[in-house]
A = this chain, B = another copy of it.
Amino acid sequence: MSKDRSEVLMEYLLTRGFVWPSFEIYRSMVEVGGFYDYGPLGVEVKRNIVEKWRRIFVYPYQDIIFEIETPIIMPEIVFQASGHLEHFTDYIVECMKCGRKYRADHLVEEELKKRGINIRTEGLSERDIEKLIIEHEIKCPQCGGELSKVYKFNLLFRTTIGPYSNNVGYIRPETAQGMFVTFPRIFDLAGRKLPFGVAQIGRVGRNEISPRQGLIRLREFSQMEIELFFDPKDPRCPFLDDVRDVKIRLTTEDEVKKAVKEGRDPTPMELTPREIVDRKIVPNEWMAFYMALAMTFMNELGIPVDHQYFLAKLPEERAHYAACAFDQMVLSERFGWIEVSGLAYRTDYDLSRHEKFSGRELRAERRLDRPVEIEVVRVYPNPQKIREVFRDKAREVMKLIAGLREEDARRLARGEKIRIGEYEITPELVFLKVERKKITKEKFVPHVVEPSFGIDRIVYVTLEHAFTLVDSDKILLRLPPDIAPIKVAVLPLVRREPLTSIGASIARELARRGLKVLYDDDGSIGSRYSRCDELGVPIAVTVDDRTVEDGTVTLRDRDTRIQIRAKISDIYSIVRSVIEEKRDLVNVGRELGLEVIERT
């Protein structure tokens, strides 16, 4: 996209009410980058994209995928367990003269780029980045002052829950943790059978150091995520065959490593889900399955296949919980290749950590090939001792001991002490009984594959791909009809009775049935069609003099400008065919035997 076109797009998104920076009236007074509002058209596009995601990822698999909604604020212990308190950090560096703070890796990349040096900082340590700053004598770009040491800055938004200042909470940086901590509930709903998945759509917060790039890097944004739980000894996906024909473009870890070494961009190859599994590019079928759905999702939003690929993340680039990860990249003319979703094999990392921190068992069972005799340790609390040690917390500790995991019980039997949350439990506090028992099942912590989508970036790339300039300056927003914010326009040919009241009543009826409608009787019909094209309205209904005679109207297709003539009473079902069934307007018209008017 040339700079001009990209500026036309940004101006368009602002003024037509798709998106704009939040708190504009206070922008000159406070630093509040990284927040965006959705205007009336943006809200609709976002909602339509979410609904499409649900129809691709959730509804067809509703026997095993359960959508839930959990809070945005979560207590500190969740993020101690999840590792975010320790690992969810960026590098920061401060100017010793003016006090300005910068994201250190970005600063180094940008400053070196100005000098013609291209460097990848992903995976570097704070010492590495510090070395680069010293070596290249990088200074504060604002005032030229010396820079401080590089240190880690945690990206969690911190707050306090309730009136006690030590009861710390955070805004979740991913919806995922809400799904992990509610594992026991959903596992019960799933009949305690694997595989099953949990889906969540919602807001998250990441306290970026200095976000720019509009919708691409936000401090508050929305995610759509699935945590798919499965038995690592049975990593099959029963739906893999349904997506066998989807072509997936991806770059493997090997290719990425090679490309880095050779100083070039990695080259994607095209494979089917089955080929990806067979070549062991991914460690389980679920990863390949979700790649196929994710590509389908992007296709249906209007992103061509050659504008997408999956990029393998190298070990040092992965999040702390991921044993294997791919970023789904989409080509933006403005921002280059950007990540719109991440696909991670989180193994049993999260559930195991929450087991450890909560003392609750988060496990499934699998049948053994043959029965096995094992030692079982039964643990009973010693109420007197516990009261002596824990006083008013004694009841709580007894409850925790009653629900102890086998692993912890065995450690107590070996004379070790264990920790549950803030409590240290020593063997002296319990009675132990060791029994031998024949078992036919064994317990294990399920493994997890996670597809995770950033909604706001997807909204942006969808709009960018739909945004077309016709005859160099007329805007045509070619959104898929089910994504278009306004579904239908109603236009009296001229502003004159009874055309206007017929038009208004058609508009009212369509709105009543849940459609977003634009009624417009202002200006020439040509300029109103242009207005509809600009807003991406897929169908424009025109009321003319013949409407008064025979109750028919014309329906105009946005992209071909071909019109069909239909009865007023059929408008709703025709619009629905186009939007819900993804039918072509003119084909629908032909099928119904309606008059078709080619473009004049």
Contacts and interface: CB of A to CB of B under 8 A. Distances in A.
Given A74-B23, A75-B32, A161-B31, A38 B69 contact: yes
A342 interface: no
25 contacts: A17-B189, A20-B185, A23-B75, A23-B181, A26-B75, A26-B358, A30-B76, A31-B162, A31-B167, A37-B70, A38-B70, A39-B68, A40-B66, A42-B68, A43-B68, A60-B508, A62-B511, A63-B519, A73-B157, A101-B163, A157-B160, A157-B161, A162-B207, A163-B210, A514-B580
A275 interface: no
A70 B73 CA distance: 17
Interface string A522-563: 000000000000000000000000000000000000000000
A182 B37 contact: yes
A119 B517 CA distance: 52
A261 B68 CA distance: 47
Nearest to A191: B522
Contact of A516 (B39, B43, B62, B76): B62
A159 B157 contact: yes
A458 interface: no
A32 B207 CA distance: 23
Contacts of A77: 26, 29-30
A203 interface: yes
Given A38-B69, A39-B66, A157-B159, 13 more contacts: A20-B185, A22-B178, A23-B78, A28-B421, A29-B396, A30-B75, A31-B162, A31-B167, A73-B171, A153-B163, A157-B161, A157-B169, A161-B219
A184 to B, nearest CB: 7
**In the complex, which of the residues A26, A60, A181, A205 has the most CB atoms of chain B within 10 Å of its own CB atom?**
A26
A96 interface: no
Contacts of A36: 71
A67 B40 contact: yes
**In the complex, which of the residues A32, A73, A76, A421 has the most CB atoms of chain B within 10 Å of its own CB atom?**
A73
A396 B220 contact: no
A209 B515 CA distance: 43
Given A68-B37, A71-B220, A72-B220, A167 B63 contact: no
A69 B29 contact: no
A47 to B, nearest CB: 9
B25 A360 contact: yes
A511 B60 CA distance: 6
B580 A513 contact: yes
A449 interface: no
Contact of A512 (B17, B60, B159, B517): B60
A247 interface: no
A160 B208 CA distance: 11
Nearest to A516: B62
A410 interface: no
A133 B258 CA distance: 75
A350 to B, nearest CB: 12
A162 B71 contact: no
A365 to B, nearest CB: 19
Contact of A22 (B43, B70, B92, B422): B70
